[in-house]
Amino acid sequence: MNKESKYYITIEKSNDSSFFKVELKDHYGSYNSVYEKTIDEAISYAKNWCKETDNRHEADQIHARAIAQCIKLDKQAGITTNNRDGLD
């Protein structure tokens, strides 16, 4: 985590009051919303989610590069034409 890390965390009771709704957004723009049974579980989830922000961002970047490479290889192989992949 760097010094510029910002997190937006909201924990509130759900409409039926049997769960806690946890909404999270990190400084990379990643968003997540989950429901936990107890406030302790909600806080624990939020802590772990924030702790994993940089790892999650790196995994997202690796995934994006892999997809870009697949698209490049498909174009080189002639699999794609225009915006259609021909696999239908």
pLDDT of residue 88: 42
Residue 20: exposure state from Cβ atoms within 10 A (0-12, 13-18, ≥19): buried
Q: How far is CA 66 from the centre of its chain?
A: 17
Are the CB atoms for 2 and 11 separated by under 8 Å? Answer: no
pLDDT of residue 25: 97
Angstrom CA distances, 42 to 15, 33, 45, 80, stand at 16, 11, 5, 45
Residue 24 CB neighbours (<10 A): 19
For 58, the token pair is 């790196």
Task: Tell me which residues of the chain have a pLDDT lower than 50.
Answer: 88
Global model pTM greater than 0.85: no
Report the percent of the chain where pLDDT is more than 70. Answer: 88
